[in-house]
Amino acid sequence: MSQNYRSAGSPDNDETVILLDNVSKQYTNGAPAVNHVTLSVREGEFVFITGETGSGKSTLLKIMIHELVPTEGTVRVLGYDLNRIRHGKIAKFRRNLGIVFQDFRLLKDRDVYENVAFAQRIIQVPGNQIRRNVLNALDMVSLSDKYKRKVTQLSGGEQQRVALARALVNKPFILLADEPTGNLDADTAWEIMQLIERVNREFGTTVVVVTHDRGIVSRMHKRVIEMKQGEIIRDEGSTPAETYDDFEDDLFEYQDVDSDGYDYED
Amino acid sequence: MRISSLLHTVGQGFRLLFRNKSYSLASIGTISACLFLFGMFYSVLTNFQHIVRTAEEGVSVTVFFKHGVTEEQIDQIRIAVEEREEVAQVNYVSAEDAWASFSEEYLGEYAEGFTENPLEDSANLEIYLSDISKQSELVSYLESLEEVRMVNRSELTANTLSGANRLIGYASVAIIGILLLVAVFLISNTIATGIQSHKDEINIMKYIGATDLYVRGPYVFEGLLLGFLGSLIPLVVTYFVYNKAVEIITSRYYMLTQLMKFLPVEEIFTTLIPISVILGVGIGFVGSILTIRKHLHV
Ligand SMILES: Nc1ncnc2c1ncn2[C@@H]1O[C@H](COP(=O)(O)OP(=O)(O)OP(=O)(O)O)[C@@H](O)[C@H]1O
Ligand SMILES: [Mg+2]
């Protein structure tokens, strides 16, 4: 996975996976939700985005996944120029991302297994590989034994673990989560966050987590970007590039979902 | 498209159809009604055209000549008329022929009493047209010839027939057009309902990286399926109705069948089947594309 990404990174910085340059987003009226934000995230980093409510955290994350287009500034993610990405390439781009939401967004009429397999079917993984990949992903979030359960019969923490398994089963380069622990009690929240941390550590997956949980942020000792009124007011704890050098995991090897996805057409 | 996504499209398409039974039935019903009416109009129209064509074959213009016009001159005119595009056939009827058929028909043995031909100037040309709409043109040409004494024509029949033909055509186009719109509207609603109930799922699919084709395929297929099913029902119904109608008309109005001959159902259906299926599937396609454009922009 690392090789694949490194060979494809932006020319000025080989390891930058997310690059926002002077990005602003203004909704139809009112003050800008994101105001002249410049930041970069390196491969394998774990980044928290915090800040008070309404400070623009979710908006920033939506810009990173191309759900929103900024009104100003440039956005590059995994070599894709998101200002100019063609509509037909958005799906390809998103296959490199794992996205987790506060409200889980599971398919309520299906069981745990189907919820995770769903993600594999969408990207058209051959049928004979789906089972193995899904069970691996469920194993990682310790839900193998409940794979036949309807998701509505799970606790909040378990549901978020299913969502996490779904986000990870396609082996994304970047995991992005918007308040993934927002609906969970403190202990469960900590559990989920530890799980995300493990994914980052073991597989080298770049992680961006939006949270307002100061307790978790201060316990984790990761890079923290704090926002206020759309601007970054603090960015500290950035990890040195050397930390994430050798990741080897045969059980959960990253597949190349998008070998020609890097868009140099600009 | 890969086999797996084709299977996804087809499978989900069927699932959508059955999940929304009442909407699906309403859509299929409307398409059926639309195409049933179309089938009826088509059958009537085709038969009518067939009858008109048969009638046209009998419609003729008769030209009589002035006293003293010789057989050679008439023959010259015959050759000139035969050259004309709208003319199918020209028959020369000599004065003797005219007398012979007249006397045979009306006088019988009393004809023996005549020594001279009383229909001396009745030599004429019977002109049969291939294109009845050009009749007036031909008549004015004939009347402009100086040898011509009189032109008899059957304008009334010809105009009535092609006028009625056109009227049925317009009426059917109008009615079918309105029903078509209703059908597209209903299909569109059916598909929109399916999209609404899968909104969350569609949203997640997009985050995970589903292509447009993967997301939209099932809804397009649902539309095609509705259209296809909606075209089969009226074809079956039309088949039986047509045969029954021909049977009833033939048995009750025997006189009518002397005048006109109905086309066999097989002849109607060789064109009606493909037209209906294409129309049905086309309605489904248009309905689903319109809905997807409106409700499924990524
Ligand atoms: N769709 C929208 N249309 C208009 N304004 C919006 C929209 N979404 C967000 N905003 C506004 O933009 C600002 C930033 O919103 P955003 O959701 O990014 O904040 P946040 O930091 O995620 O807040 P929270 O912690 O409450 O989730 C807020 O003032 C919000 O009201
Ligand atoms: Mg938010």
- Helices (H), ranges, A144-185: 156-168
Using a CB–CB cut-off of 8 Å, the residues of B that contact A are 2, 4-5, 8, 200-201, 203-212, 214, 298
Interatomic CA distance for residues A182 and B143, integer angstroms: 98
Q: What is the pLDDT of residue A243?
A: 42
User: In chain B, what are the domain boundaries?
Assistant: 3-55+159-295, 60-153
Strand pairing category for A80-81 and A72-77: antiparallel
Mean pLDDT in residue range A219-243: 83
Distance CA A190, CA B4 (A): 39
Phi, then psi, of B222 in degrees rounded to 5: -55, -45
Q: What is the mean pLDDT of residues A95-124?
A: 94
Report the share of chain A in percent with pLDDT over 90.
Answer: 77
Percentage of residues of chain A with pLDDT beyond 70: 84
| pLDDT over 50 at A84, yes or no | yes
Ligand 1 pocket mutation, candidates A28, A34, A49, A59, criterion most atoms within 8 A of CB: A59
Arithmetic mean of pLDDT, A119-135: 92
Q: Structural domains in chain A?
A: 16-250 (3.40.50.300)
- Identify the three-state secondary structure at position A209: strand
How far, CA to CA in Å, does B48 sit from each of B25, B170, B260? 34, 14, 9
Chain B residues lying within 8 Å of A118, measured CB to CB: 204, 208
CA-proximal residue: ligand 1, atom 12 (nearest): A33
- Shortest distance between the Cα of A242 and any Cα of chain B, in A, equals 30
Which candidate from A93, A96, A122 shows the least CB-CB separation from B210? A122
pLDDT, tens only, B89-146: 888 888 777 777 777 766 666 666 666 666 667 788 888 877 767 777 888 888 888 8
The whole-number average pLDDT for the span A237-255 is: 46
Q: Which atom of ligand 1 lies nearest, measured to the CA of A62?
A: 18
Residue A244 banded pLDDT, cuts 50, 70, 90: very low
Structure tokens at A250: 């045969």
Averaged pLDDT in 10-residue chunks for chain B of 298 residues = 79 86 87 87 80 67 84 86 83 79 68 67 79 78 85 63 72 81 88 89 93 91 93 92 86 67 84 92 92 79
Rounded to 5 degrees, φ, ψ at A252 are -130, 60
The residue with tokens 């622990």 is A181
Cα–Cα dist A164/A139, whole Å: 12
Report pLDDT digits (tens) over A178-197.
999 998 999 999 999 999 99
The tokens describing B231, both together, are: 């075209």
Q: Are strands B124-129 and A231-236 parallel, antiparallel or unpaired?
A: unpaired
Please provide the CATH number assigned to the domain covering B60-153: 3.30.70.3040
pLDDT of residue B278: 94
Helices (H) and strands (E) in chain B, counts: 10, 4
Contact between chains at A97 and B203 (C-beta distance less than 8 A): no
Residue closest to B63 by CA, chosen among B81, B47, B37, B49: B81
What percent of chain B is helix, strand and coil (3-state, nearest 5)?
80, 10, 15
Measure B187 CA to nearest chain A CA, in Å. 26
Residue A102 has pLDDT above 80, yes or no: yes
Instruction: Indicate if ipTM > 0.85.
Output: no
pLDDT at B137: 83
Instruction: Return the residue whose CA atom lies nearest to atom 14 of ligand 1.
Output: A56
Burial (Cβ within 10 Å: 0-12, 13-18, ≥19) of residue A120:
buried
Question: How close, in Å, is residue B212 to chain A by CA atoms?
Answer: 8
pLDDT at residue number B19: 83
Under the banding of pLDDT at 50, 70 and 90, the label for residue A135 is: very high
Atom of ligand 1 nearest to the CA of A51: 21
Cα B248 to Cα B254: distance, rounded to the nearest angstrom: 10
Tens digit of pLDDT for each residue in A31-56? 899 999 999 999 999 999 999 999 99
